[in-house]
Structure 1
Amino acid sequence: MGAFTAEVYQNEYLPAGGTDVHAVVTVTSTGRPDGPDGLAGEVSPHGSRPPDSPPTHDSPPAPGSPSAHGSPPPAGSRRPELAEVLLLDCSGSMANPPEKIAQARHAACAAVDCLPDGVWFAIVRGTGAASMIYPDSPHLVAASAVTREQARLAVSRMEPHGGTAIGRWLDLARALTGTRPQAIAHALLLTDGQNGELATDLAAAVAAARGRFQCDCRGIGTDWRVAELRLIATNLLGTVDAIGSPNELVADFTSVVATATSRATDRVALRVWTPRGAEVGFLREVSPMLRDLRAEATTSDDHSVDYPTGAWGTESRDYHLNIRVPARPVGTEALAARVSLVIDGRETSQALVRAIWTDDETRSTRVSAAVAHYTGQAELTASVVRGLEARQSGDEATATLLLGRGAQLALASGNEDTYRLLQKVVHIDNATTGTVRLKKNVKKIDEMVLDTRSTRTLRVNR
């Protein structure tokens, strides 16, 4: 279990009658055990107290699980058990142009090559059904020099045919990762087309996979739907991206798999306790990407709600929390919320969000720099997504207004990546005022890249 720390950034002062409390919680994981017993570190706001930290419970691999060659990490190893499943679109459209399937083979082989020894893995052939590329039967094998070579050979033989049933691919990934229930499980899904199943079937497969594995989704070409892959990635705590050119696949696959296999702590949740009369307005991840956490929330007790955040490696994430509290008399100080980290169902430590009512306008109107920054990043994402939707529906006036606002916000916040992607879709006449003109001949892939990457945020400077 990695050591975790956290800090709360907020302006705790509210005006008379004020009810909305905002705070940014920065959570950082070292990705390594803290001390000889692998104790989790404290989570501390400015001036909070560190509670006792629970010991880790490393679970050995389940006995009797089938494998080809290779072996899992030795007993007592500090490296957690990991599972990786590649879900590769092998439908007939992957042959047009042939470069797509060729680069998919190269990327899958590169991903297998970067798997550390002992990581459990499998490769799935995704068509109108789901079947195994490697190994031959539906189980996971442990990565080794032998199994990696066998997997590369199997991948080199995969040929495109048939349709696309992504829900079935996810169902097989769920069955595969279910054979290693203690593993930190991850899937990487590649497709070039639209799902051929009923929307309800895909939604059911996604719902069944929640909490079983995380899934990063990649679309190649321009015939797939951003909304479909975003549905999967959002619910399975992953990312979605558009691959503009097949030759970008190798670098992307190796980066995604390297990140997935660096994770050390699984099933991490933020628990938000609120006092009687208060409620959570929203909780969303705001860095490194924008993600609403409320859809996966579960009630812990009458006052607490748990928000899953998935598995962690060595990294830091920011969360924007809004609490609505009953107004109190001027001069009153109250606890608006208590935010705890919960790992494997055990609460490790806590951070406090406060509210103080004042009639000092200087204090009550000051906005935390972190809160202001991420409020702007959320508006930037909404402006881009809604602007692209308006453009696609033919509402050019609304598209121009929203994408202009996006350019304005991207410039003001220093989000150079989004600004550069916007320039491929609109002519920016004056970014300061948000004055833009829609480009007439925009490549579809440029719109899709802007759409998928609109949720990537710029981190606030501390």
Structure 2
Amino acid sequence: MANFAKPTGPTSSAGPTGPTGSAGPQFSVDVYQNEFLPEGGRDVNAIVTVTSTGGGTTGGARPAAGSSAAVVLMLDCSGSMDYPATKMRGAREAAAAAIDTLRDGTSFALVAGTHLAREVYPGNGRLAVADARTRAEAKEALRGLSAGGGTAIGTWLRLAAGLLASADVPIRHGILLTDGRNEHESPEDLRAALDSCAGRFTCDARGVGTDWEVKEVTGIASALLGTADIVADPGGLAGDFTAMMEHAMGKEVADVALRLWTPVGVEIGFVKQVAPTVDDLTGRRTEAGPRAGDYPTGSWGDESRDYHVSVRVPQAAVGQEMLAARVSLIVPDPAGGTPTTLSQGLVRAVWTDDMAMSTSINPQVAHYTGQAELADAIQEGLDARKSGDYDGATAKLGRAVQLAAASGNADTAKLLSKVVDVVDAATGTVRLKAKVAEADEMTLETRSTKTVRVKK
């Protein structure tokens, strides 16, 4: 048989490149895996690190790119926003701070959301172009907002999609704030709205206070490839909105997809984003030619993300090797032509009778498998706690504490300590707290998918 050396670092089949004709970010793809399988072994796992460098990172970094983006702010103006009144006041102040963060030339609009969706600024189905005058007008319009009515988030999203569609720009983004449950439309209506908006714009979602539904807000962000978080104290909204808008202003390449090509006989197990958050992309595949499929990743600025790709290859004898998958980062051609390939990486399979080589788990794969289990354990533990299954909750949250400690996820460990008393983190021995603040439980649930990156 051939004598193969054990891999010590990542592999990448292409150097970093940027979109054709673009002075924006340059992309690279690195693949981390143990490519060695025992005789008859079939499961191949790899962590694919995608890195974008050389783009803007904040609102002030690349002022010339302002005209390439459009943003719609959707503010909950339902009756509950007046209880307490600090929520409505905080929402107005946060929106004003976000408007001040808009780069000159960025198209934008404000939407007031109740059981209906209403354009607050500029109106008539249009977008304004950010400059000193339009910012001042928009902030004046915010002062007239008041609370009253119900909540139908799907209508807000559909209006935002229509407004953003009017802008001939690559980056289309929404920021959505709610304080309550989506009680004035059915879950099916919200799902249909998300399905119609997916791929048309990205959206960050925030819940203020503690009367909203975590799974609704995180579901919106996941479907629209954005971030989700809780702002328990309305006083923190302005800082959070400023940070979200700065992040949006740093995006320069839109509609980037991870294209996975596999040879005949190879089956896709799953494709998941695993950093900075866990998000399963498997079900979002769109076919892209023979044995190829695209998985959406949204818009990119200066950043790096990790993806876990799992495939099942045909059985083979010792000494054989094969390409298990080719991972490409692609961006569509605005004119509808052939997409641009930004970078590529290769996932390989090599069969060996060296047990030490074939049983070694790549550190990156092991780390992110644990981070995904951590997110699941938190969700299952909190669900068990809510349903009264305290033994199940203790077991799951104990496992979460163990995983958080082992992986160095200090932020999640701190959130867990507000829900359980930790007796021994190493063994996952915990006791459920008798009383837990609702904001602490919701914060843990909302942030359960946030991961820490492996030290490479």
Output the CA distance in 2 between the equivalents of 1:347 and 1:28: 14
Alignment of 1:29-428 (within 5 A): 29-32=52-55, 81-195=68-182, 196-344=184-332, 345-428=339-422
Question: Residue 67 of structure 1 aligns with which residue?
Answer: none
| SS of match in other structure, 1:432 | coil
Give yes or no for contact 1:331–1:357 (8 Å, CA) kept in 2: yes
Output the CA distance in 2 between the equivalents of 1:273 and 1:182: 29
Question: Residue 50 of structure 2 aligns with which residue?
Answer: 27
1:11-59 deviation line (CA, Å, top 9, x unaligned): 10011111100111111111439xxxxxxxxxxxxxxxxxxxxxxxxxx
1:194 to partner: Cα distance: 0.6
> What one-letter code is carried by the residue in structure 1 that aligns with 2:351?
W
Give yes or no for contact 1:9–1:23 (8 Å, CA) kept in 2: yes
Output the CA distance in 2 between the equivalents of 1:99 and 1:121: 25
Question: Residue 4 of structure 2 aligns with which residue?
Answer: none
1:211-260 deviation line (CA, Å, top 9, x unaligned): 11001110011111111112211110011111111111111100011101
Give yes or no for contact 1:121–1:142 (8 Å, CA) kept in 2: yes
Output the CA distance in 2 between the equivalents of 1:187 and 1:407: 34
Unaligned runs of 5+ in 2: 1-21, 57-61, 333-338
Output the CA distance in 1 between the equivalents of 2:144 and 2:421: 46
Number of aligned residue pairs:
421
Give yes or no for contact 2:27–2:342 (8 Å, CA) kept in 1: no
Give yes or no for contact 1:16–1:357 (8 Å, CA) kept in 2: yes
Output the CA distance in 2 between the equivalents of 1:281 and 1:297: 12
1:347-401 deviation line (CA, Å, top 9, x unaligned): 3332111000111001001111111110110011000011001101111010000
Output the CA distance in 2 between the equivalents of 1:6 and 1:419: 31
Question: Residue 8 of structure 2 aligns with which residue?
Answer: none
Question: Residue 54 of structure 1 aligns with which residue?
Answer: none
Question: Residue 455 of structure 1 aligns with which residue?
Answer: 449
1:346 to partner: Cα distance: 2.6
Output the CA distance in 2 between the equivalents of 1:170 and 1:389: 28
1:80 to partner: Cα distance: 5.7
Question: Residue 37 of structure 1 aligns with which residue?
Answer: none
- Root-mean-square deviation over aligned CA pairs: 1.4
> What one-letter code is carried by the residue in structure 2 that aligns with 1:159?
S
Which shows bigger deviation, 178-187 or 306-315? 178-187
Question: Residue 7 of structure 1 aligns with which residue?
Answer: 30
Output the CA distance in 1 between the equivalents of 2:248 and 2:65: 17
Output the CA distance in 2 between the equivalents of 1:169 and 1:244: 22
1:79 to partner: Cα distance: 5.6
1:258-310 deviation line (CA, Å, top 9, x unaligned): 10111010110010000101011011111111111123210111210100100
Percent identity, aligned pairs only? 52
| TM-score, scaled relative to structure 1 | 0.89
| SS of match in other structure, 2:351 | strand
Question: Residue 70 of structure 1 aligns with which residue?
Answer: none
Output the CA distance in 1 between the equivalents of 2:187 and 2:374: 29
Output the CA distance in 2 between the equivalents of 1:13 and 1:105: 56
Q: Judging changes above 3 Å, is the alpha-carbon distance between structure 1 residues 187 and 79 closer, same or farther for their aligned structure 2 residues?
A: closer
Which consecutive aligned stretches of 4+ in structure 1 deviate over 3 angstroms post-superposition? Answer: 77-80
